[in-house]
Amino acid sequence: MRKFTVFVLCLLVVAPLSAQKNKRDPLTPAQQDQIAEAGDTPFARLNLYVKFLNEHADTIQGLTRRAHSAAWVHRMDDELNDFANLMDELSENLDLYADRKADIRKSMKDMNESIDRWQTMLKSIGKQTGFETSLEDATDSCNDLATQAKKVTDDQETYFKAHPDEKGQDRAEPK
């Protein structure tokens, strides 16, 4: 009985570790390097996220034109999860730079246009069996990002009208 208890405890410890190992990263190592090189430069970093999300959107659109199979459902599920996770990363960066009062207005224009495209693309997929949850998560992430981007855009315009001497900065300097 004691051996059985030890065995069960070992399984309980090992099971979460194996689940963590299988978590996909939405960025390739080369893309991670590009993000790291952009460092704390808001304009470059946000534009890279938008670029990578556009690439994922193109992949998802390409998949929608393929024959449906079990492998297709699995791939679509993975791509939609990656897409949602990457949008969440973009959202975190957007929060960071907005809180720092970095002038990210140039990035916001392209981002808002891309978000409109992503929302349209996600709506066009329609209900499919096998990846309903990942499609819903991606749609929710996209809608949340759209709301956040609109608010940040409005806040940026208001802030930099009131503080014209801070335009073009990567972050607000304490005065």
Q: What is the pLDDT of residues 105-148, one digit of tens each?
A: 999 999 999 999 999 999 999 887 889 999 999 999 999 999 99
The mean pLDDT of 85-101, rounded to a whole number, is 93
| pLDDT band at 174; cut points 50, 70, 90 | very low
Model pTM score: 0.81
In sequence order, the 6+-apart residues with CB closer than 8 A to the CB of 70 are: 130
The mean pLDDT of 2-7, rounded to a whole number, is 54
Structural domain boundaries in the chain: 29-162
**pLDDT given for residue 141 in this prediction:** 97
**pLDDT given for residue 164 in this prediction:** 85
Q: What is the pLDDT of residues 32-68, one digit of tens each?
A: 999 999 987 899 999 999 999 999 999 999 998 888 8
Distances from the Cα of 44 to the Cα of 13, 27, 51, 56, angstroms: 41, 16, 10, 18
Interatomic CA distance for residues 141 and 126, integer angstroms: 17
**pLDDT given for residue 127 in this prediction:** 80
Match domain 29-162 to its CATH number in 1.10.287, 2.30.29, 1.10.260, 1.20.120: 1.20.120
Identify the residue with better confidence: 61 or 166.
Answer: 61
Interatomic CA distance for residues 68 and 83, integer angstroms: 20
Nearest to 54 by CA among 86, 98, 30: 86
**pLDDT given for residue 175 in this prediction:** 44
Interatomic CA distance for residues 79 and 171, integer angstroms: 34
Count of H-run helices and E-run strands, the chain: 6, 0
**pLDDT given for residue 15 in this prediction:** 53
